[in-house]
Every structure is written in structure tokens, then in C-alpha cells.
């Protein structure tokens, strides 16, 4: 979905396109399906698990501060309260 920004990126003032899957070694994080696949194993993620995993994985080895994680979590809580 090129050109769209995730709510996590928007709350941080960073506007990056959403990448529907992130590959880390043999593991695939599928943002759209909210699941992580590693070989034959599939783990289904809750909304907060998916968003936090995406935040961490999308930074590609960069440090994510505790404050950034808490800010993202608070943004997710506000978004879920609004629905």
C-alpha cells in the first residue's frame, strides 16, 4: 500500500509507506493478516502485539526508546477507544 502511513509512524511524525510483510531470516511478519510465520508454524497476533512487533521490526536494528514504545501504545489505545 504505497503512500499510506501507519498510525504508529504518524504519531512519531515519521511518514513511511506501510510494508505488508517484513522478512527476518526465515520468519515472515504479515501485518495485514496479523500473523507471524516461521516454516510451518503460524502465530496469530493481537492488535497491540502486531503494532509493537511492526514498530520494532520496521526499524531494522535501530534502537527504539521506551518512550517511543509507550507513545505508540498510547496512540493505539486512543485509536481503539475511538472505535
Q: Which residues of the chain fall below pLDDT 50?
A: 1-11
What pTM, to 2 d.p., does this model score?
0.57
Assigned architecture for domain 7-82: Orthogonal Bundle (1.10)
> Nearest-CA neighbor of 18 among 33, 6, 36, 30?
6
Largest CA distance in the chain: 37
DSSP 21: E
pLDDT at 45: 92
Dist CA 22 CA 19 (whole Å): 7
pLDDT at 13: 57
CB 44 within 8 A of CB 29: no
Amino acid at each position: 500500500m504505497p503512500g499510506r502511513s501507519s498510525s504508529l509512524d504518524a504519531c512519531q511524525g515519521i511518514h513511511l509507506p506501510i510494508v505488508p510483510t517484513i522478512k527476518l531470516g526465515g520468519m515472515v511478519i504479515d501485518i495485514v493478516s496479523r500473523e507471524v510465520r516461521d516454516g510451518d508454524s503460524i502465530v496469530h497476533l493481537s492488535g497491540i502485539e502486531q503494532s509493537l512487533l511492526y514498530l520494532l521490526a520496521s526499524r531494522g536494528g535501530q534502537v527504539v526508546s521506551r518512550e517511543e514504545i509507550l507513545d505508540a501504545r498510547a496512540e493505539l489505545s486512543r485509536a481503539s477507544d475511538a472505535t
